[in-house]
Every structure is written in structure tokens, then in C-alpha cells.
Structure 1
Amino acid sequence: MRAAELVGRQWLNTGGKELKLQDFRGKVVILDFWTFCCINCLHVIDELRPLEAEFADEVVTVGVHSPKFEHEADPDALKAAVERYAVHHPVLDDPELTTWQNYAVKAWPTLVVLDPEGYVVHVAAGEGHVEALRSVITEVIAEHDAKGTLHRGDGPYVPPPAPETTLRFPGKVIALNNGNLLVSDSANHSLVEFESDGETVVRRIGTGERGREDGTEPTFAEPAGLALLPDDLAAEVGYDVVVADTVNHLLRGLRLADGHVSTLAGTGEQWRDGSDSGPALETPLTSPWDVSWWEPAGGVVIAMAGNHTLGLFDPRTGRVRRFAGTTVEGLRDGAADQAFFAQTSGLADGGDRLWLADSETSALRWVEADGDGFALRTAVGTGLFDFGHADGPAEKALLQHPLGVAVLPDGSVAICDTYNGAIRRYEPDTGEVSTLAADLAEPSGATVVDGELVVVSSAAHRLERPVPPGLAAKLIEGASQQVKRPSTEIASGEVELAVVFTPPPGTKLDERYGPSTRLEITSTPEDLLVEGAGVGTDLTRRLVLAEGVEHGVLHVVAQAASCDDDDQIEHPACRLTRQDWGVPVTISASGPARLPLVMGGLDA
């Protein structure tokens, strides 16, 4: 299939040059369809780095940014995100999802490989495709090298000017017992301690290089959440602060006395499947975004943004376990082990409640004790596709991708409503939502110091105090918005849903220990599916849709295990490919009766 032209509003990381497909002729091209709110997309950016280095002369990666939220369509916000996440390849700004639709993309992230003559040769949805991509790219390079259609040399990437600020896209802030403030300086891969004014630097902890070294000259990779331990516990375990070292998939411990950093939890590898409970240093984590000591749970709760769960780390025993969630992305309340989360990115200890900002559902939620266990409740937010900026009763209020939360002295909750650039307040007693401050640059974290709210204004690269003492909340009546993603038309009645997966070259589906594939399907609303919901091992499923339902969302989780296809290898390497889709669908009598979702390969 001939590749479609790359159409958008502007190009970034090209020195101002507008690019066309013809400019990439002779190169293998990886199109990375992403949006900067999406944690899986951020994983893929990091996964592609070694491939980009390995095939620097033959391969060009092009990021196609197709926004989910309204804020992500802002060109300045995209420019900031490209710098924040160290995207070192050209990026096409696709605000109207034109190129997204031309390539029939249905999920963030999706990777499309083009050969040097401009033909689509491979498609992969989700993350974890590095080895498959390496195999495909190696084959394409060999074929076109032999044909004489491969052109080696530098690509079109032009780095932007280096910035000069003390902080660069800081993530979170906490108040220390000495009155100082500790900030995670995410894009500078370090922590910074300030005096109480939030401007005078006391010290920087970390060399500023991306890495995972312990000691008194530590390295981090985009650290985010910070949790101060109780004094008696800190004295017992030998560190004072737990750091969510997000891109390293680790928890780190900081001893404030001398700045010494140690690794507490995680292996450095991202959790993909299997057990996520056990000895902390032997159990993988996945993009821990925030952490909070919460006494009712008896440990440090981890906002595991990368797999839509909450984890729990016990500093005394050195063990970690899943605390809440199923790994399905969505919004579902109830018992902790059955709840759905969506990229939880902010936590705050509210005593008997642990408050959380669930970013992808634009929701404020909380966890509380419930009988012998814990339960999840939602204060603000309705699901994955609705957002906006509207105050009033909580059931009608709207947020847009909040990343932080803090408990105010009066017991109300301050929300860092990140993509609205606002600080919102939720009052539990009345169920009302109001706006405390607006016109902030992506507020992502907050803490309270002497009754005053200190906010991380991430895209402004500084701390701010935007809410003067005594300021009354103001009400905003805003419009409801929905995710820009186009709906997929399907037939009414019976539909075949087919997850397309072809094992990468040199591998095969491994059936030695049972089925190598798994497919789970649910829907919103739940009564959308008369038949076809549930878990099975076949990647093709017959669905029967309810009469009278015109719109809904199909939630699809697919996985496949592929192993080296060589019978001479005693212990072949196996890799798990997994992808989650939330597919908005429109049901009509004239719609197609087959819905293909490409997890890896090409749809025949």
C-alpha cells in the first residue's frame, strides 16, 4: 500500500523546513502517531531511542502528533511537550487528525513503517514492539540495499536552541520539615531544594544526566512524585523521601542529611505482564508518576500511570504489591481490586481518604477504607472521552487532564487542572466545584505551606503562589468538550472484531504451554454488547450489538506471546505484545460488519 502524504499544520524539529514524503525517499521511515497526554506514547518515545541510534544512517522517525485533548492542539503546548520529553526527531503537528485518518489509525500510539520507496510495510499498535521493528527494519534495509533504493546519511532533524532556566518542566513539590521546598526537576533529571520562597536554590540533587546511579552524585530519568515519610519511619529505614523515578520505572529513596540516593523498588524494566507483587527490588514497576504515604494503607501508595493501577510499597518490609486496579483503562468505582483507573498522575493524603487525579478520565477520585478492604469513589468525571472547564455541582463539573491534587487546610481539595491551566477546588461537604486561579502554565503539582498553596507551574518552569489568602472561589460555566478522536462506523446486529497480529520475522506464536493469545472485550455502556463481552483466547470475536444503541465505546485488550522460531534453541526468547483500545463506535445499518484492529503486521 502506497503511503499517504503527511499533512498537518506545521513541522517541529526541522529548523522551520516543511517536509513532504518525497523528502524521506530512500530512507526507512517510522511514523509514530502519538499524543503527549498518553503514557503509552511516552513509553514508545523512549523505546525508539535505541533503534534511532542503531539505524541512524538508514531510518528516520517522524512523530505525527494527533491530539486527544483540546489543550494538546495548542501549538505552543506541543512545542513545549516535544522539548519536555526530549523528542529528537521531526514532528508533524496534525491538529485535525488528518494524517491520522489517512493512515486509518485507531489507537495511540500506533507505529507505521514505510520502506524507502514509500510503501507501508508494517503497522503496530501500542508499545513493546522494539524487537519486531528491529526485525522488520533489518529486512527492509537488506532488500533495498540490494535494489539500490536505500540512501544512507543524516536525517532532517534540527535540534532547537538549548533553554536556560533553573527548573525545566518541574513535576511535583513537597514541603520539608525545615520549611524548605523540594521539587522534582523532571526535564533536568534531578531534584532541587529551595528555601521557603521557592526561588532561592539550596542545592541540586542529581548530576542532570539521564541515568539511574545511586549515591551522592545520583542520576534520574524524568523524576516526578515525591513523598515525605513520617519521622520515626525515616529514622528506621534510613531515608526521608520516596521519589517516583518515572522513566526509570523505579522508586528511589533520598536521605536529606547528605543527599544520598538509593534504589528502593523496581528492576529498571517496565512491567508488562505477570506478577506485580513481591520483593520490591525484584518486581517491575511501570511509570510511577506520584507517590504518597497513606497511613490507612500502611505504606507508600504509587500512582502507576503506566498500567492504570495503584501500587503499594512497604518501606519496612521492602515489598511492593498491587493495591488497586485491574490494568484496564477506564473509570469504574467499587472494590479496589475491581476498579478501573486511567493514568493516575497525582495523589494527596486526606486522612481517611486518599485523593487522586485520574488524568485520562479528567477525574478527581478517592480511595477509602471499606469493610476489610478499600473502595474507589469518583467526585468529578464521567469517563475517557468527556472533559471541559465547568464549575458547579460535581456531577456536572468538568476538568481537563488534571495531573496534581492537594488537600487544603479547610478539608477541601485543590486540583491542578493541568490542561485548563487552572487551580480548581472541590468541597466534599457540598459537592461543589469552583475555580481558584486561571491562566497558569500547565500546573502539575501542589503543596500547602503555612496555609498557602504552592503550585508547580510546569510549562512556566517555576513555582507559583496563584491563590492569594482569602480569595473567594469564582464559578465558571464552561462548555462540555469531547475527545477529538473520530468515531468508527460499524454495522448494527452482528460484527466480527478481528485483532490482526503477525509474529515478527524470525518468531512464531508459542503454544507449548497453552494458548499464546488473549482477548478481553467490554463496552460502554455495558448493555451495548448483547454477546461477545468477556475473555477468550481467539483474536477474532463475534459481537452482537444491542438494538437502539447508536453510540458507544468498545474496550479491547489483546495480547500475544511470540518466541524465536528456531527449534534448535533450547530456551528461545519470548516477547509479549499487548495493546488496549478504547474505540468509539457509531452503529448504523450501512456500517461494515468487520472491525479490524491492527496490533502488529498488516491487515489482509
Structure 2
Amino acid sequence: MSDKSPAPAPRRARVRAPELIGEGGWLNTGGRNLTLADLRGKCVVVDFWTFCCINCLHVLDELRELEEKHRDTVVVVGVHSPKFAHEAEHRAVVDAVERYGVEHPVLDDPELATWKQYAVRAWPTLVVIDPEGYVVAQHAGEGHAHAIERLVEELESEHAAKGTLARGDGPYVPPEPEPTVLRFPGKALGLPGGHFLVSDTTRHQLVELAEDGETVVRRIGSGARGFADGDAAGATFSEPQGLALLDDGSVAVADTVNHALRRFDPASGEVTTLAGTGRQWWQGSPTAGPAREVDLSSPWDVAWWRGRVWIAMAGVHQLWAYDPADGTVSVTAGTTNEGLVDGPGEQAWFAQPSGLAATGDRLWIADSETSALRWVEPDGSVHTAVGTGLFDFGHRDGAAGQALLQHPLGVTALPDGSVAVSDTYNHALRRYDPATGEVTTLATDLREPSDAVTAGDDIVVVESARHRLTRLRLPEEAVRVASVAHRTQRAATEVAPGTLRLDVIFQAPAGQKLDTRYGPSTRLLVSSTPPGLLLGGAGAGTDLSRALELDPAVSEGVLHVSAMAASCDDDPANEYPACHVHQQDWGVPVRLSGSGANRLPLVLAGMDA
């Protein structure tokens, strides 16, 4: 594909939208089962998501403004399509819908029935259905809200003229709130003196608890979603997560949805901003500089290590660091490619790093999407203790090379030199001992543990889905657990060995064109697991089409495809047009077969012909 804007495809292929079906049923509808017929007359945006996926969470935030602005004509319908075994549990989906403030109907589709009907290949994917029930657009990845809004405005005008637009309230029915002290807490920190500071994520606050872990001493933040500095009563956060005690007694806060690093002073109660602009980082943005001028992307946890605040930048699969000495922030490890690759920091791959714990000689990382425990050495090199990649997970103790985790979100340094892992989707607390290389289970029957802190001989676990802190005595012996191994249940795509044509379809939204003012406006990166699957075609380039050469001797694997396209408003009179970045990562399981396809189309934006 050239860097010139492609000839427009037929804008509205008349493809009837498949019905929305899922064994888990509907949420946020007051118990009502919806059909597409119930939504006739509305512009419907179907959001295929899964709650482990940071890109899906970004899209939830992108859609909030669209939902509010077009509340009487647009219905967003979430279709929850699980990756991990835990995500197929209905109770977990119910929790996630509340946890992330989803204010539209959600269909729980644990068997991926609707996913398959719509031929979806990636999380997140957005499908637009017009008021007459026809699919008119498909977008994969992030950055499409502006294009969808423009399409919605066209549909509103067209169908108002035809008399097929139905204005009025949609089918969303909010659930009843529950009166708990904490609501889906994320991370915790032990304060000097024995109190605990907890990020009360869904309520957009920090909460200081007494030594019992239950009694509220004070709340920090108004409780409204926002991004404002100020005193404890007036400051605002947006789904804060990680906390780290700094050497001056203040606390660094990963303010996740604000894409910011905040500072809380326990002595004065003041909240200030250390890093971030409130905008999400996109490809091409600066990766170093004055901290208040550099965009961040979903910082999930923080740790004080070797004189800097290290940041688990889940949104771009990297580690960053804030240097308080000169007030700068910079990337320290990771390429932004999603996967599990060790080596020098600038070459390593992560997948939603979500938990950090510092010891003298190592920075430990819970790398959630690869279900891995990893660490960084003082020289910046990255290593893996437990985990094999994006698609294998489970609950298995034993030698680290064979052990399995399931989407861990937290890691905690223990006094004996080992580390505890909050093995979130296994509802367990695990232990890795670097001295022996063994993984054991410390506790089970927790509910989505997301972090833990030591307190004397005890460990205090954040049971996020039970909305509480749970104190446990560190056991001397491991708990025996039956081994379970899983692979993602997505069906593999059958492809022919030899030459496979990869086409990433991108059609610039109406009224826009590819931005070629500063060079190529598209980027494509391809790799594979195992690496030997690709005999040719791996690497980076600017063309969105590429010939891949698959080794016939490798029967199956995963193609990792990362695509980006930048488009700007096509108005010659505007010297500074608004520009937008569209990007998506695909992990496509493939199986080589003589009868398989020789073309793999992936839709970034538009409709595949």
C-alpha cells in the first residue's frame, strides 16, 4: 500500500449485522435480553473487548464522550470476548463492568459466538451498525473515536431524512451501587507508623486505613473522575493504581486513566502532578524530556529504585522512569511491541507490565499479558523468571521454567529474598525463590488479588474483587494445588505454507487523508512465535501490505502484527489540520495447512473487500 490516500471503497456495503448472542447473557439492561431488532433506529457501536486488555480500556475511555454527546441516537454495546480462562467467568465480567465504569449494555460472550459471527481478529474491535441494521464500518485498535463520531453524524443526518432514526433513551440500566468501604481497590502501600494507603480505583480516590486495614482514617480526592491538583478534599484522580513511598516521605501515584504521575504529601494532604499532560502517548510522541511536557500511557504501578521512580507503563508495554533530580521522564526499557523478549532494555518486549517491586539489585515486574514474572538488572537488562508468552497460562507450581501464572498484576519483595506474586486470575498468592528457582503457592481462595504489602510477619493482600485488604500469616509450607494449563481459546487461522500475503486494510475516514507531510504516515512491524515460522517478511516497514514466507516445517505459531496510520483533516485552507493516530497490535494464531488461505487481511479501519 502506498503512502497516498487510497481510492475510496464503496462506503456502505449492505451487509446485514449478525445477531448478538452469548451464553453469559446481558448486563446493564435491568435483566432484559436485547436483540438487534430492539436497537433498530439507533446508530449502534459494537465494542468487542476483554477486561485484561489495556487497549480495550483505552477504547472504553475514548467512547465516553461519544456516548454522552450522542446519547439520544447512539447505543454502544460491549461484547465481552475473553482471552483468559478467568475472563470467561460471568461473575468476573460483572465485576469488570463496574470496575471500569462501563455505562452501556454488555453482552457476556464466553464462547466467542458473536466474535466469530463478526469475524473479529483482535481486541479491541469496533463495528458500526446503521439504524436499519446494516454493518457500515469496522475499526481495530485505538484512535478511531473521531472517525466514528463523524460517521455517526452522517448516519444521523441520512436516517433522519429517511425517517429511520429513532431518538430517545437507550436500553442502559445502571446497576445498584453497593456500600463497601473500598470499591475494587488496586494497590496498597505501608506507611511509616503502620497505616496503609490504598488506591480505591473505581471511586477515583486514595484511602488511608488504620493498622487494622479496615478503619478509614481519611480519603484523598473528591471521588469524582477528574484531573485536578489541590488539597485532599478537592483533588481529583481517574482510576488511580500504583503507589510508591519516596525518600522524602511523599507518595508517587500512578494515576492510570489520567496518564499521569501524581504526588501525594501525607503531611499536608496536598496532591500535585509530577509527570504527564493528561493526554495519552501515541507513536511518534516524545519519549523523554521535562516530565510535565511528555505524554504517558496508562501508568499502572510505580516503584522507587536506584534514585528514580520507575513506572510500569502498561499502555505502551514499556518501563519508564521519573528523575526527581532534574524533573525529567524517559523510557528505560521496552520497544512498545507486545510480547516476551529478554535482553538489553532497549530491545526487550513487555506485555502490559502492571506490578513492580524493588530490591537492592533487581526491579521485579509482573508482566500481566504474558502471565510472566520478570526482572531488570542494574545494567538495564531484562530477564524472565516465569512465563513463556502471550498465549500460555495456568496454575502450575514447580521449577520456574515449567511453572504457570495467569495474568498477575502485583509483585512484592519478601524479607527472605524471594518475591510474592499476586496471581490475579488464579485468585492466588504465589512465591518465587531466586535461590532455588522454584514457584510455590502461598494462598488460594483470594478474589482477584492485585497487590500485597508485608506487615511484620504477615502479608496484607489487596483482594480487589472482594473490595478489601486481607491479612495472612506468611506460611512456612506451600499450599498444594492441582496443576492446570490453558491456551487462549481463539481458533487458529488456517494458512497455506509458503507465501502469505498480509494486507492491513486502512481507509482514511471521510474528510481526512493520510498525513505525509513529514514522511511515510504508515508503519508495519511483523514478527512470529516461534521466530522460525517466518522465513521472510519479518521486521519493520512503511507499506501496509507485505509478502510473508512461512516455513512449511513449522506446523503452527503466532504472527505478531503491529500497524499504525496517521490521518489529518483534508482541508487545504487549514494550515494546522487536526491529525489522528490509528494503531493496533494483532497476535494471530495460525495453523499451516495445504488447504489454508494465502492471504491474511487485517482491518485497521474500513471494510475488507
TM-score, length basis structure 1: 0.97
Query: Which ranges in structure 2 are unaligned for 5 or more consecutive residues?
Result: 1-14
1:178 counterpart residue number? 193
Choose from 288, 306, 318 the match for 2:299.
Answer: 288
Q: Which residue identity is paired with 1:577? A: H
CA contact (8 A) 1:226 1:242 kept: yes
> What's the counterpart of residue 237 of structure 1?
none
2:458 is matched with which residue: 441, 452, 459? 452
Distance 1:597 1:410, change over 3 A: same
Alignment of 1:39-54 (within 5 A): 39-54=54-69
Does the aligned pair in 2 maintain the 1:28–1:114 contact within 8 Å? yes
Deviation at 1:164, TM superposition (A): 0.4
Q: Is it true that 1:205 corresponds to 2:214 in the alignment?
A: no
2:316 to 287, 291, 307: 307
Tell me by how many angstroms 1:470 deviates.
Answer: 4.3
User: Aligned partners of 1:160, 1:470: CA distance in 2, in Å?
Assistant: 39
Say which of 516, 519, 524 aligns to 2:529: 524
Does the 8 Å CA contact 2:355/2:409 hold for their aligned counterparts?
Answer: yes
Runs of 4+ in 1 over 4 A off after TM superposition: none
Q: Does 1:269 align with 2:262?
A: no
Aligned to 2:366: 357
Residue 509 of structure 1: aligned partner? 514
Deviations 1:224-271 (A, max 9, x none): 00000114xx5xxxxx00000000001110111121000110000000
Counterpart CA distance in 1 for 2:244 and 2:74 is 42
* 1:81 aligned onto 2:90: no
Distance 1:78 1:281 in 2: 36
Residue 438 of structure 1 aligns with an amino acid whose one-letter code is T
Match of 1:366 in 2: 375
Q: Is the 8 A contact 1:270 1:284 kept in 2?
A: yes
Deviations 1:555-582 (A, max 9, x none): 1111111111111212222111111111
The number of residues matched between the two structures is 591
2:431 aligned counterpart, secondary structure: strand
1:65 and 2:80 are equivalent in the alignment: yes
Of 491, 502, 521, 1:486 maps to 491
Tell me the TM-score normalised to structure 2 length.
0.96
SS at match of 2:207: strand
Counterpart of 1:476 in structure 2 is 481
Query: Is 2:120 the counterpart of 1:105?
Result: yes
The one-letter code sitting in structure 2 at the alignment partner of 1:218 is A
Distance in 1 (alpha carbons) for counterparts of 2:497 and 2:164:
46
2:239 to 214, 217, 222: 222
**Matching of residue 250 in structure 1 with residue 240 in structure 2:** no
1:26-175 alignment runs, 5 A limit: 26-175=41-190
Three-state SS of the structure 1 residue aligned to 2:571 is coil
Aligned to 1:21: 36
Find out whether 1:3 has 2:9 as its counterpart.
no
2:298 aligned partner, one-letter code: S
SS in 1 for 2:160: helix
1:426 aligns to 2:441 (yes or no): no
For 1:543, give the aligned amino acid.
L
Determine if contact 1:434/1:476 at 8 Å carries over to the other structure.
no
Contact kept in structure 1, 2:442 and 2:474, CA below 8 Å: no
Q: Which of 174, 186, 206 in structure 2 is aligned with 1:191?
A: 206
Tell me the CA shift for residue 469 of structure 1.
4.3
Match of 2:389 in 1: 383
Match of 1:340 in 2: 349
Q: Cα offset for 1:369?
A: 2.2
SS of equivalent to 2:532: helix
What is the root-mean-square deviation in Å for CA atoms of aligned residues? Answer: 0.9
State the identity as a percent. Answer: 62
Q: 2: distance between equivalents of 1:292 and 1:479?
A: 32
Does the aligned pair in 1 maintain the 2:394–2:484 contact within 8 Å? yes
CA distance in 2 between partners of 1:479 and 1:288 (Å): 31
- 1:373-426 alpha-carbon deviations (Å, 9 max, x no partner): x10110100000000001011111100000001011111110000000000000
Indicate the residue corresponding to 2:339 in structure 1.
330
Confirm or deny: 8 A CA contact 2:442 2:475 kept in the other structure: no
Instruction: Give the 3-state SS of the residue equivalent to 2:110 in structure 1.
Output: coil
Counterpart of 1:602 (choices 588, 601, 607) is: 607
Which residue in 1 is equivalent to 2:595?
A: 590
Structure-2 separation of matches of 1:486 and 1:307 = 26
C-alpha contact 1:40 1:306 (8 A) present in aligned 2: yes
Please point out which of 374, 394, 404 is paired with 2:400: 394
The question of whether the paired residues in 1 share the 8 Å contact of 2:185 and 2:467 is answered with yes
Hey, what does 2:449 align to over in structure 1? 443
